[in-house]
DNA sequence: TTGTAGGCGTTATCAG
DNA sequence: CTGATAACGCCTACAA
């Protein structure tokens, strides 16, 4: 079953390619009769325009690229889901690439997408990345570009974020309101902006409540995994037996801590209250159920795509576009792991 | 920053486009001198071939399509991860689409990919799909095609699967070995092959152990969600208070059942042993830890892509390709939720 | 109302 | 060793 082209339809009907093309695009200057004939034959032969040729002519592929650290991640898979669906609604397909949290790979993925000439790029940075050359390159080339969640503050592009400082502040304030007096923080790596902001939020909450900040109570993840959460929990409880609360950079890490405490009969929340971040699905099915901060992943995906779409449209029309930042709301979800009193 | 073309390099160097093209592709019939000059200038200008034009000429896009029911799913996100990485290693990019478990959407996604002229398609069927027209269409058009996990048995294409019957049999046998005498099965929807096979495996295990099969002990999911698991658990315990084991189609459903039992102080595994399927991450952090069947998602992704690659290569060379089926091994993972004796 | 011609950027063929 | 020419399939001024 070979591909049908305009040419074939044209020869079959004994007319010119141009007329066929025009007929199919419903140009006004084609007679109803030929129009009907063309459309009928096109349908019969299941004609669809060759997208390679269309891409070449129109210089757009109706395809966008999406780079994230990792799909197997509750938050990111939700964003991916939203972006794919939103893109499809608007006639775009999505190529997905993973940076695997390394700068080197991320650079490569950007290059691949640029060479592929996607119409736009949406991205969430790896832990190692910043406003590096590959990011600047995207903007230098004037490719529509949106960053979400893990962003580079200095990049002059559109962004979709939450207020990590405020969200973290609220999480820690909640622990304090529930009687915690000595709260440890398992933070993310030193580079990513959201880890920095959550850390600042933690500090601010302590400050506001006149709890002295102690650097020794801050533990820094490298891999941000379940295992790290478990290991840090052990370390924390050994180094600071009187700790009564933990704020973890993300649920996965909090779940690791929970696992350690459960196995070692350390009562959560009675002895140690725990709160995570991101509201992973599993958090609500654990024992005890994990308190956390809700991060609107779905909305983030939708907003990211729509910002990109707007920029792509401007780009096409040659209209200048001014990057915007959209900040979405978060809220603390209170479950069992942080309620000391009933 | 405008795009660099062969033409520009040619005019800048005062030579022909043809020579530039050849020089960049390292043809033997270009003098070392011009070759060097061309390559140097090309690098300086950051020339990259216009992929739209290359696609049109070569009739391939080095892009494949992947259709799955849903990315936000432990098993599928792992497969996606593997396919993306494996594809990239081999110079392919991946467009991902979701069927959302409906036939209508799946048909649309197939159409989109066909029109996009991807070089190949990998797919896991929705719950409503079968060897339907859209599947046949892919093969009629001679587009390289691989199905994995949720397949249509009758389709004459390559497949990557597990032996669902055997895996389910082993899971149920394990429950029986642990003293279960009255085992309920929360099965998947009636249509998908893997739900059918797991159901058959359940029946065979009962039969082998001379446990009478009772249709009333089989509960059929529609949405295959956490909520359904929870609701069926309630229903099962009410209708059959003497039930002592449950085999669930997938971990998510098993986790729902576990949640219900936990909340209602029904002891797992003492009163009811539970085993799931697929080994979702969360299963190992629950209380009690969920026993399950390991499904090699990562390997499945890799094998799927490589089968597709083989077919794409044959396709390109015009060599006939005979579809193959690869069956991967599974194993029962024994955790707390199914061990009645210690 | 229909058709001709040119071009999008690359590659392959063939002639010089 | 180099280059002119055509072709991939589509679209659109412009001409007839």
Instruction: Assign residue A247 a region (left: φ > 0; alpha: ψ between -120 and 50; beta: otherwise).
Output: beta
pLDDT of A29 reads: 83
Q: Is A52 on the interface with B (CB under 8 A)?
A: yes
Q: Is the pTM of this model over 0.85?
A: yes
H or E element at residue B310:
helix B297-317
Question: 3-class DSSP state for residue A265?
Answer: coil
Instruction: Assign residue A125 a region (left: φ > 0; alpha: ψ between -120 and 50; beta: otherwise).
Output: beta
Check whether A136 has a pLDDT greater than 90. Answer: yes
Q: Is A94 on the interface with B (CB under 8 A)?
A: yes
Q: How far apart are the first and last CA of chain A?
A: 70
Which residue in chain A is spatially nearest to B262 when comparing CA positions? A287
Q: Is A141 on the interface with B (CB under 8 A)?
A: yes
Question: What tens digit of pLDDT does each residue of A226-267 get?
Answer: 999 999 999 999 999 999 999 999 999 999 999 999 999 999
Of B56, B98, B286, the CB nearest to A52: B56
Give chain A's largest Cα–Cα span. Answer: 89
| B22, closest nucleotide (Cα–C1') | C11
Q: Mean of the pLDDT values across residues B178-199?
A: 97
Q: Is the CB of A15 under 7 A from strand C?
A: yes
Q: Mean of the pLDDT values across residues A150-173?
A: 97
* Nearest residue to C3 via alpha carbon and C1': A16
Residues B98, A85: C-beta atoms closer than 8 Å: yes
Q: Mean of the pLDDT values across residues A175-192?
A: 97
Dihedral, CA of residue A62, residue A68, residue A70 and residue A76, to nearest 10 = -90
Q: Which residues in A lie closer than 8 A to residue B51 (C-beta atoms)?
A: 115-117
For tokens 């140690």, what's the residue?
A272
Residues A259, B117: C-beta atoms closer than 8 Å: no
Written as six digits, the tokens of B79 are 């497969």
Please name the residues between 233 and 252 in chain A that touch chain B, using a CB distance below 8 Å: none
Q: Is A286 on the interface with B (CB under 8 A)?
A: yes
| C-alpha to C-alpha distance for A283 and A294, rounded to whole angstroms | 11
Q: Are strands A245-248 and A273-275 parallel, antiparallel or unpaired?
A: parallel
pLDDT of B146 reads: 98
Q: Is the CB of A265 under 7 A from strand C?
A: no
pLDDT of A92 reads: 98
Residues A71, B80: C-beta atoms closer than 8 Å: yes
| C-alpha to C-alpha distance for B244 and B6, rounded to whole angstroms | 73
Q: According to DSSP H, which parts of chain A are helical?
A: 6-13, 17-24, 32-44, 51-58, 74-89, 103-116, 133-140, 164-177, 193-208, 226-239, 251-263, 297-317
Phi and psi torsions of A61, nearest 5°: -115, 0
The residues, ordered by sequence, that sit 6+ positions from B235 with a Cβ below 8 Å of its Cβ are: B219
pLDDT of B341 reads: 74
| C-alpha to C-alpha distance for B78 and A123, rounded to whole angstroms | 20
The residues, ordered by sequence, that sit 6+ positions from A141 with a Cβ below 8 Å of its Cβ are: A114, B1
Which residue in chain B is spatially nearest to A53 when comparing CA positions? B56
Please name the residues between 294 and 323 in chain B that touch chain A, using a CB distance below 8 Å: none
Written as six digits, the tokens of A81 are 């889901």
B79 and B301 Cβ atoms separated by less than 8 Å = yes
Check whether B342 has a pLDDT greater than 70. Answer: no
The residues, ordered by sequence, that sit 6+ positions from A59 with a Cβ below 8 Å of its Cβ are: B52
In A106-133, which positions are buried (b, 16+ CB within 10 angstroms) versus exposed (e)? bbebbebbbebbbbbbbbbbbbbbbbbe
| C-alpha to C-alpha distance for B283 and B286, rounded to whole angstroms | 6
Which positions of chain D lie under 7 Å from any protein Cβ?
1-5, 7-13
pLDDT of A342 reads: 65
| C-alpha to C-alpha distance for A212 and B342, rounded to whole angstroms | 48
| C-alpha to C-alpha distance for A99 and A149, rounded to whole angstroms | 15
Written as six digits, the tokens of B96 are 């991902």
Of B50, B84, B282, the CB nearest to A285: B282
Percent of chain A with pLDDT strictly greater than 70:
99
Question: What tens digit of pLDDT does each residue of A292-322 get?
Answer: 999 999 999 999 999 999 999 999 988 999 9
């Amino acid at each position: 079953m070979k591909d049908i082209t305009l040419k074939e339809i044209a020869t079959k009907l004994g007319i010119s390619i141009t007329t066929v093309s025009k007929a199919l695009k419903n140009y006004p200057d084609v007679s109803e009769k030929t129009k009907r004939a063309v459309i009928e034959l096109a349908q019969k032969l299941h004609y669809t325009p060759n997208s390679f040729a269309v891409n070449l002519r129109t210089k757009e592929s109706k395809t966008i690229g999406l780079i994230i650290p990792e799909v197997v991640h509750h938050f990111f898979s939700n964003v991916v889901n939203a972006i794919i669906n939103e893109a499809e609604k608007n006639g775009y397909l999505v190529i997905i690439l993973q940076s695997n949290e390394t700068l080197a790979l991320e650079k490569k993925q950007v290059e691949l997408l640029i060479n592929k000439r996607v119409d736009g790029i949406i991205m969430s940075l790896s832990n190692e990345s910043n406003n590096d050359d590959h990011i600047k390159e995207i903007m230098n080339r004037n490719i529509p570009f949106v960053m979400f969640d893990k962003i580079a503050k200095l990049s002059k592009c559109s962004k979709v974020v939450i207020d990590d400082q405020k969200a973290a502040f609220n999480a820690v304030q909640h622990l304090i309101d529930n009687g915690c007096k000595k709260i440890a923080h398992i933070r993310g790596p030193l580079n990513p902006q959201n880890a920095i902001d959550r850390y600042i939020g933690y500090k601010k909450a302590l400050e506001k409540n006149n709890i002295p900040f102690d650097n020794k109570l801050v533990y820094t993840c490298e891999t941000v995994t379940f295992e790290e959460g478990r290991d840090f929990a052990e370390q924390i409880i050994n180094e600071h037996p009187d700790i009564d609360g933990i704020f973890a950079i993300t649920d996965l890490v909090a779940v690791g801590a929970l696992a350690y405490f459960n196995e070692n009969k350390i009562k959560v929340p009675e002895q140690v209250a725990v709160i995570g971040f991101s509201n992973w699905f599993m958090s609500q099915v654990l024992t005890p159920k994990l308190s956390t901060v809700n991060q609107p992943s779905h909305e983030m995906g939708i907003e990211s795509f729509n910002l990109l779409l707007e920029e792509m449209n401007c780009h096409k029309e040659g209209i200048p576009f001014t990057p915007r930042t959209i900040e979405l709301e978060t809220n603390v979800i209170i479950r069992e792991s942080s309620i000391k009193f009933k």
